[in-house]
Structure 1
Amino acid sequence: MLTTDGPEAQDQLFESPHTPDVPKNLARATLRLQFSPTYVIVGVYRLFTDPLLYAPAWDKCKHGTRRGAIVGALWAAFTFNIQRKFIELFLANSPRVTGLSNNTVFGFKVPFSLPTYAAVLFLGSQITYILGFFLYRNIRIARERAWAQTMTSRGKGPDFWQPYVEEWETPPVVAGDTKLEKFVKKWLGEKVGLFAVKRILLLPFNFYPFVGMVISAWFKALGTAHNLHRQYFESKKMTEKEIAVFMEERKWEYRIFGFTAALLEGLPIIGLVFTISNRVGAAMWAHDLEKRQHFVASKMNTNKRVE
């Protein structure tokens, strides 16, 4: 019987009693499914090597990227020294508030100038927002289209997606939303509320060099993974309960995939590129998951005919 007690539980999925043998056409997909972060790498590779993917994405974003890069470069040239001086005068001299000083982070010595690091970090975030402002509409379209373009490059159409099939003999019981989540969704709206709460909770970690990015990505992991597979769930017309059970059965795969994707998307400037490549990787993961669904469905149908 399958459980959800840890990463090893997902390995048992491929040894399920109703799917004892994996066919050759699923062998490579099975290996990839056992380590979901590989799809993030696959997404980057395909985006930069497949003309069906990078050409339309660049055509949609090139004008906004050029305008944003010019404005961002001018902003950096005129404000870097000012921002660095501001950090030296106010932040670095207030360690009780931020934990920063000229050569320490929360009491630990670092091999670089903290004001310079903080200025570069803040400036990188600002340039990212500037680029995002000029790219807002077009990069959103590029992300949405990346899914369909990936499927087209794989030669798959709408008929590839079949109704959801439960793969576990005993599906896990999924708990509902917590009281805090229900309150946030009710009064602020699901997307806006949760986004605001995460921003507030994660704000203190922004002052930790490098470590802050890792902590932030871990907290965003499941939400990022769910969002990246939104089109997969829609294509299969899955209910909220089916989605919750499906993700719970693969919670470690989704968490690790989402962590890796969120970590790359959180990088200043180049993270915008990863917001597209991660959609490609998520589509490739969905492709293998769907092949697995087809295999399970065919085995179930065969067993029913035998009975």
Structure 2
Amino acid sequence: MSDVQLPGDFGAGSAPSKLPYSDNVPENLRAATARLQFPPSYVIVGVYRLFTDKNLIRPAWDKCKHGVVRGAGIALAWAVLTFKIQRKFVEVFLIKSPSVTGLSRDAVFGIHLPFDLPTYATLMFISTQATAILTFFLSKNIRIARDRVYEQTIISRGKTSEFWGPYVEEWDHPPKPSTSIFTRFAGSVFGRIVIKMALAPLHLLPVVGIVISAWLRALGTGRHLHRTYFKAKRMTEDQVSVFVEERKWDYRAFGFAAALLEGLPIIGLVFTVSNRIGAAMWAHDLEKRQHYVAQIKGQQGAGKKE
């Protein structure tokens, strides 16, 4: 029995893969395995499904539309009334202090731009404030909408709460997760809010600022978006840490794509909903893999007894 090579076994003639049990997977897992090779694809899938699946977009919009109307009205009034004042602030305190900010009227860190930088910086300031205003009016309802689209996505895959099994360790020698205070802080809800606020000034830098901010928030965002998955599997904090550490670059890549979209002013709020759909799709594929690994380990255990 020990001479039989099981699907996913690292036997002779089989090249080791990044994750164990990833080779020779059965037909019904090949599509999921292919998707798992590029986690950012789930972010794209989330956006696509949100705008094409009426069972997702309609309930989410119905829950948020009143808050959007109220928040947008106040945000628009705020922008009109304060634009000139804020532009003056940018010119006096930022553009004229290049030694501190690296900004000038026509350039960012010496790179000349084809548009008026004070106007751009002012628009970024106001759009960030408008996002905060919308978030205030949507805070409770958009959280409900995110939870509902996650649940509906799982239901659309034909799964119930029984689908989520106990945690299965896929590595014989799992890596030791980081236990730094900053890592735990960055993974918490409060930590994500603080870090997002601290990185907000980076958005003044055209394009580059949003990218840098998204990268710094990537791992925490990825882990945060799967908190429902970890809860469904009843995973302990240590198990979650090991699970994420084993897929650190997967979570970083997924989190970067998600944070990049969420970091966009105003429209980023829409992507906070679609990212939950993408997270649910990824969780579904990860759980199918967990079932497969549990099955293989069970077969291997039975073989050793024989």
TM-score (structure 2 length as normaliser): 0.88
Q: C-alpha separation between the residues in 2 aligned to 1:156 and 1:175?
A: 33
Q: C-alpha separation between the residues in 2 aligned to 1:305 and 1:44?
A: 43
Secondary structure of residue in 2 paired with 1:169: coil
| 1:13-54 Cα shifts (integer Å, max 9, x gaps) | 1xx3x5642011111111110000000001011111112211
Q: C-alpha separation between the residues in 2 aligned to 1:197 and 1:30?
A: 33
Deviation of 1:306 (Å): 3.0
Select which of 270, 274, 280 maps to 2:267: 270
The answer to whether the Cα contact below 8 Å between 2:128 and 2:266 also exists between their aligned partners in 1 is yes
Provide the residue aligned with 2:228 in structure 1: 231
Matched, 1:249 2:246: yes
Q: C-alpha separation between the residues in 1 aligned to 2:253 and 2:303?
A: 39
Select which of 218, 221, 225 maps to 2:218: 221
Q: C-alpha separation between the residues in 1 aligned to 2:117 and 2:83?
A: 14
Matched, 1:123 2:159: no
Letter in 1 for 2:143: R
Which range moved further: 207-216 or 223-232? Answer: 207-216
Select which of 35, 56, 60 maps to 1:57: 60
Provide the residue aligned with 2:7 in structure 1: none
Provide the residue aligned with 1:258 in structure 2: 255
Provide the residue aligned with 1:196 in structure 2: 194
The answer to whether the Cα contact below 8 Å between 1:19 and 1:296 also exists between their aligned partners in 2 is no
The answer to whether the Cα contact below 8 Å between 2:217 and 2:255 also exists between their aligned partners in 1 is yes
Matched, 1:70 2:67: no
Matched, 1:176 2:179: yes
Letter in 2 for 1:143: R
Matched, 1:135 2:141: no
Secondary structure of residue in 2 paired with 1:12: coil
Q: C-alpha separation between the residues in 1 aligned to 2:249 and 2:183?
A: 22
Secondary structure of residue in 1 paired with 2:220: helix
Secondary structure of residue in 2 paired with 1:238: coil
Letter in 1 for 2:296: K
Deviation of 1:204 (Å): 4.9
Deviation of 1:198 (Å): 5.8
Which range moved further: 76-85 or 128-137? Answer: 76-85
Deviation of 1:132 (Å): 0.8
| 1:178-216 Cα shifts (integer Å, max 9, x gaps) | 4x668x79xxxx64356435633x355333221111111
TM-score (structure 1 length as normaliser): 0.88
Letter in 2 for 1:80: F
Q: C-alpha separation between the residues in 2 aligned to 1:19 and 1:204?
A: 42
Matched, 1:298 2:295: yes
Structure 1 residues 36 and 197, CA gap change in structure 2 (3 angstroms): closer
Secondary structure of residue in 2 paired with 1:156: coil
Structure 1 residues 44 and 198, CA gap change in structure 2 (3 angstroms): closer
Q: C-alpha separation between the residues in 2 aligned to 1:116 and 1:175?
A: 43
Deviation of 1:82 (Å): 2.7
> Gaps (5+ residues) in structure 1?
1-9
Matched, 1:279 2:279: no
Q: C-alpha separation between the residues in 2 aligned to 1:44 and 1:204?
A: 27
Provide the residue aligned with 2:99 in structure 1: 96
Which range moved further: 34-43 or 139-148? Answer: 139-148
Letter in 1 for 2:105: N
Provide the residue aligned with 2:88 in structure 1: 85
Deviation of 1:302 (Å): 2.0
Structure 1 residues 176 and 109, CA gap change in structure 2 (3 angstroms): same
Provide the residue aligned with 2:18 in structure 1: 12
The answer to whether the Cα contact below 8 Å between 2:189 and 2:224 also exists between their aligned partners in 1 is no
Q: How many pairs are equivalent?
A: 290
The answer to whether the Cα contact below 8 Å between 1:33 and 1:285 also exists between their aligned partners in 2 is yes
Deviation of 1:102 (Å): 1.1
What is the Cα-based RMSD across aligned positions, in Å? 2.3
The answer to whether the Cα contact below 8 Å between 1:52 and 1:153 also exists between their aligned partners in 2 is no
Alignment of 1:100-111 (within 5 A): 100-111=103-114
